[in-house]
């Protein structure tokens, strides 16, 4: 093991192994059509020299970059505390285990000129992209459709086309589950704190909710907009209580908002679940630790992200576009808040 001032190249490996550069290359890449002796010699040389292929050189000829992008077009500060996002990164990273693909992080920045991310994506620096936390107006759908870049959305895009792959939980059904549970519990003055209406998850959860309330003949006039975050949930709860003091059931479209809402309820002396039943959405770690523990709709985020990554890897490797979006079933997790 020498201590080179400059990284060893394939040429050196070949030389010390006593073979040609081509043979060395083949031995390193899967070892097809290479004799056992040559293979062994190359392996030894690689180990001895501490050789790692130069990614740039390889990428230049293979036209693959061996890296994929995780795009998070979420400009605001919420990212700081969003466990969903941390989970997404973790999930992608985990799904990349085994491959030697790298994960490049592309955050939108609050002040940036629009199109930076799109430009980067178009310029062939990554083999594919996963888009999380997608908003209506971040122009990613059209842009990705225009490129041929393999991409998978986590969360249904606004204008699904056969070419736009995505993985999502059935948010409409999730909204229904929440509504049904509250109706079953005998609650009749129902309110909801919605997610952002420029995200399909926010829209869909509300759709399912409204559907069930309509069918049950229950008014759905008590609706306040939230942003999935805790403070937003608390603020929305204040407004709800001010306008609809007789509320006896609440669906918050995220656990974080549910937690914020429950704090406000407690401050106003409303007991959960005796006075008001609460259902959340996500089933993140915190849901089990709120007081009372939160009944919530489970969002199989880890599975979603893993599926999305697997789809993307397939897409990158095989180029086949004949996937269908994968929509996972949500599930009600009963705890103590209903």
Residue 228 CB neighbour total at 10 angstroms: 25
CA distance 96 to 306: 9
Site map for its own copies, 78-107, x if CB under 8 A? -xxxxx-xxx-xx--xx--x----xxxxxx
Q: Which of residues 256-295 bind its own copies (CB under 8 A)?
A: 260, 263, 284-286, 289, 291
Query: Does the CA dihedral 327-329-335-338 come out positive or negative?
Result: positive
| 55 lies in the binding site for its own copies (CB under 8 A) | yes
Q: Which of residues 154-183 bind its own copies (CB under 8 A)?
A: none
Q: Residue 99 or residue 289: which is nearer to DNA going by CB?
A: 99
Q: Residue 6 or residue 320: which is nearer to DNA going by CB?
A: 6
| 60 lies in the binding site for DNA (CB under 7 A) | yes
Site map for its own copies, 311-330, x if CB under 8 A? --------------------
Q: Which of residues 39-58 bind DNA (CB under 7 A)?
A: 51, 53-54, 57-58
In 3D space, the residue among 134, 97, 99 whose CA is nearest the CA of residue 117 turns out to be 134
In 3D space, the residue among 56, 51, 1, 60 whose CA is nearest the CA of residue 27 turns out to be 51
**DSSP-derived pairing of the beta strands 190-194 and 102-107:** unpaired
CA distance 326 to 300: 12
Sole window of 29-37, 108-116, 289-297, 316-324 interacting with DNA (rule: CB under 7 A): 29-37
Q: Residue 44 or residue 266: which is nearer to its own copies going by CB?
A: 266
| 11 lies in the binding site for DNA (CB under 7 A) | yes
Q: Residue 87 or residue 249: which is nearer to its own copies going by CB?
A: 87
CA distance 16 to 11: 9
Does an H or E element contain 297, and which? strand 295-298
Query: Does the CA dihedral 57-60-61-65 come out positive or negative?
Result: positive
With CB cut-offs between 5 and 8 Å by kind, which of DNA, its own copies, none does residue 122 bind?
Answer: its own copies
| 319 lies in the binding site for DNA (CB under 7 A) | no
**DSSP-derived pairing of the beta strands 295-298 and 249-252:** unpaired
| 28 lies in the binding site for DNA (CB under 7 A) | yes
Q: Residue 25 or residue 207: which is nearer to its own copies going by CB?
A: 25
Sole binder of DNA in the list 16, 23, 277, 309 (CB under 7 A) = 23
Contact 164, 140 (CB under 8 A): no
Contact 191, 242 (CB under 8 A): no
At residue 273's C-alpha, the angle toward residues 268 and 277, to 5°, is: 90
Token duo for residue 15: 């030389």
CA distance 137 to 134: 9
With CB cut-offs between 5 and 8 Å by kind, which of DNA, its own copies, none does residue 291 bind?
Answer: its own copies
With CB cut-offs between 5 and 8 Å by kind, which of DNA, its own copies, none does residue 15 bind?
Answer: none
Token duo for residue 109: 């920045």
| 10 lies in the binding site for DNA (CB under 7 A) | yes
Contact 165, 325 (CB under 8 A): yes
Binding residues for DNA, rule: CB under 7 A, are: 6-7, 9-11, 19-23, 25-26, 28-29, 33-35, 37-38, 51, 53-54, 57-58, 60-62
Binding residues for its own copies, rule: CB under 8 A, are: 7, 50, 52-57, 59-60, 65, 67, 70, 77, 79-83, 85-87, 89-90, 93-94, 97, 102-107, 109, 111-112, 119-120, 122-125, 230-231, 234, 260, 263, 284-286, 289, 291
């Amino acid at each position: 093991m020498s201590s080179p001032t400059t990284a060893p190249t394939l040429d050196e490996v070949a030389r010390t192994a006593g073979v040609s550069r081509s043979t060395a290359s083949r031995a390193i890449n899967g070892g097809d059509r290479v004799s056992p002796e040559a293979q062994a010699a190359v392996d030894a040389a690689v180990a001895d020299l501490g050789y790692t292929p130069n990614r740039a050189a390889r990428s230049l000829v293979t036209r693959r970059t061996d890296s994929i992008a995780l795009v998070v077009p979420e400009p605001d500060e919420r990212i700081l505390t969003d466990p969903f996002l941390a989970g997404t990164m973790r999930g992608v990273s985990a799904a990349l285990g085994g491959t030697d693909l790298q994960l490049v992080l592309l955050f939108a920045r609050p002040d940036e000129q629009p199109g930076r991310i799109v430009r980067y994506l178009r310029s062939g620096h990554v083999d594919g992209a996963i888009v999380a936390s997608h908003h209506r107006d971040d122009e990613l759908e059209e842009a990705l459709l225009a490129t041929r870049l393999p991409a998978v959305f986590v969360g249904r895009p606004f204008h699904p086309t056969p070419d736009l792959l995505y993985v999502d939980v059935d948010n409409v059904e999730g909204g229904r589950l929440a509504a049904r549970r509250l109706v079953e519990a005998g609650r009749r003055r129902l309110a909801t704190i919605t997610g952002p209406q420029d995200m399909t998850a926010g829209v869909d959860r509300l759709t399912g909710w409204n559907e069930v309330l309509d069918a049950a003949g229950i008014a759905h006039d008590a609706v306040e907009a939230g942003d999935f975050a805790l403070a937003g949930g608390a603020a929305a709860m204040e407004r709800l209580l001010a306008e609809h003091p007789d509320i006896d059931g609440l669906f918050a479209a995220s656990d974080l908002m549910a937690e914020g809402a429950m704090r406000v309820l407690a401050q106003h002396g409303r007991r959960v679940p005796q006075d008001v039943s609460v259902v959340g959405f996500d089933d993140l770690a915190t849901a089990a630790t709120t007081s009372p523990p939160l009944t919530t709709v489970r969002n199989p985020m880890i599975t979603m992200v893993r599926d999305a990554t697997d789809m993307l890897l397939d897409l990158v490797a095989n180029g086949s576009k004949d996937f269908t979006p994968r929509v996972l079933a949500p599930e009600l997790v009963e705890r103590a808040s209903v």
